[in-house]
Amino acid sequence: MDWSTSRAAWADAPVVTGTDRPIAKLPTMPTASTTPTDAHSMRAAILTGYGDADKLQMRTVPRPTPAAGQVLVRVRAAGVNDWDWGLVTGMPRISRLFQGLSRPRRTILGLDVAGEVTDVAPGVTRFRRGDRVLGDLSSHGFGGFAEFVATDDRAFTRMPDTMSFTDAAALPHAANLALQALTLADLKPHDRLLINGAGGGVGSLAVQIATHRGVTDIVGVDHASKLDFLRELGFARALDYTATDFTRLPEKFDVVIDAKSTRSPSSYARVLAPGGRYVTVGGNAGSLLGLAVWGRLVGRRTGTRLSLVMLKANAEMDAVVELYNSAVLRPRIDSVRPLAQIADAVARFGRGEHRGKVVVEID
Ligand X SMILES: NC(=O)c1ccc[n+]([C@@H]2O[C@H](COP(=O)([O-])OP(=O)(O)OC[C@H]3O[C@@H](n4cnc5c(N)ncnc54)[C@H](OP(=O)(O)O)[C@@H]3O)[C@@H](O)[C@H]2O)c1
List residues binding ligand X (CB under 6 A): 81-83, 174, 177, 196-197, 199-203, 221-223, 226, 241, 259-260, 262, 281-283, 309-311, 352
User: Phi first, then psi: what are they for 165, rounded to 5°?
Assistant: -60, -35
Distance, CA of 157 to CA of 162 (rounded, Å): 14
Nearer to ligand X, 25 or 296 (CB): 296
Q: Least distance (Å) from ligand X to the CB of residue 121?
A: 28
Q: Residue of minimal CB distance from ligand X?
A: 200
Distance, CA of 200 to CA of 105 (rounded, Å): 28
Distance, CA of 239 to CA of 324 (rounded, Å): 28
Q: Least distance (Å) from ligand X to the CB of residue 347?
A: 13
Distance, CA of 195 to CA of 19 (rounded, Å): 33
Q: With beta carbons less than 8 A apart as the criterion, state whether 66 and 81 touch.
A: no
DSSP string, 117-140: EEEE-TT--S--TT-EEEEE-TTT
Nearer to ligand X, 23 or 285 (CB): 285
- Report, in angstroms and rounded to the nearest whole number, the Rg of the chain calculated over CA atoms: 21
Nearer to ligand X, 1 or 249 (CB): 249
Nearer to ligand X, 200 or 299 (CB): 200
Nearest to residue 254, comparing CAs of 298, 193, 299, 189? Answer: 193
Q: How many CB atoms are located within 10 Å of the residue 15 CB?
A: 12
Q: Least distance (Å) from ligand X to the CB of residue 259?
A: 4
Q: Least distance (Å) from ligand X to the CB of residue 290?
A: 15
Nearer to ligand X, 172 or 203 (CB): 203
Nearer to ligand X, 72 or 193 (CB): 193
Q: Least distance (Å) from ligand X to the CB of residue 332?
A: 10
Distance, CA of 223 to CA of 289 (rounded, Å): 24
User: Phi first, then psi: what are they for 113, rounded to 5°?
Assistant: -130, 140
Nearer to ligand X, 13 or 313 (CB): 313
Q: Least distance (Å) from ligand X to the CB of residue 140?
A: 14
CA dihedral over 223, 228, 232, 234, signed as positive or negative: positive
End-to-end CA distance of the chain: 21
Q: Least distance (Å) from ligand X to the CB of residue 97?
A: 18
